[in-house]
Structures are given as structure tokens and as C-alpha cells.
Amino acid sequence: DSGVTQTPKHLITATGQRVTLRCSPRSGDLSVYWYQQSLDQGLQFLIHYYNGEERAKGNILERFSAQQFPDLHSELNLSSLELGDSALYFCASSPRRDGEQFFGPGTRLTVL
């Protein structure tokens, strides 16, 4: 158990809908990262927050947004969902802005 929690574990929704994925980092970790894992694209970095501020953006679609709150938990919002958004979404946390990242168990999103 990495100490990173993600909810919900599974999410099934329809195209065009909006969902929110939640991540609680390990106690004391200031950095939160979001990754998307799909069969054809592998693990892709989406976005990194450090102590509430956005630090880096990767291959994140404009339909997706994220934020990190003062208590350091983070939410990833996915809107106007498409079939291709079906994937595993992982959150990872780190105590610093670099180095080891600890991954949560993931949220499996299925868009029908």
C-alpha cells in the first residue's frame, strides 16, 4: 500500500458526461501527478501540481482539468467524455518536486 488513495475505484458513464476523480496524496507529500494508462498509449503524464500550484502539463486534453486544494488533495475533472477516454487514471504523490513518485491504485473509467 503506497499511502495514496484514489476514489472512486471504478466509474462507468456515458459519452458527453463529466466526471471527477479524487486523489489524496501520502501524508506530507506536496506534489501530486496525474497519469492516464490506456492499452494503446501506455502510461502518459497529464499534469503535476506542487503545493497547490500547477508545475507541468503533459498530454492533457483541453476537456480535462485538475486542481490541488489547500489540504493537498487533488481532483481531475474530465468533461465531454468520449469513448477514447476510457482508461485507468493514476494519481501519484511525492514529497518534493523531483524524485520518487508513489502511485495510487487508480480509477478505472469506462465511457459507454
Partner 1 sequence: QQQVKQSPQSLIVQKGGISIINCAYENTAFDYFPWYQQFPGKGPALLIAIRPDVSEKKEGRFTISFNKSAKQFSLHIMDSQPGDSATYFCAAAPNTGNQFYFGTGTSLTVIP
**What is the binding site for partner 1 (CB under 8 A)?**
2, 4, 31, 33, 35, 42-45, 48, 55-56, 58, 90, 92, 94, 96-106
Q: How far is the CB of 42 from partner 1 (least distance, A)?
A: 5
Q: Which lies closer to partner 1 via its Cβ, residue 7 or residue 15?
A: 7
Residue 98's contacts (CB-CB under 8 Å, 6 or more residues apart) are: none
What is the phi/psi pair of residue 83, to 5°? Answer: -55, -40
Q: Which lies closer to partner 1 via its Cβ, residue 17 or residue 59?
A: 59
Q: How far is the CB of 79 from partner 1 (least distance, A)?
A: 23
Q: How many CA atoms lie within 13 A of 22 on its CB side?
A: 7
Q: How far is the CB of 43 from partner 1 (least distance, A)?
A: 4
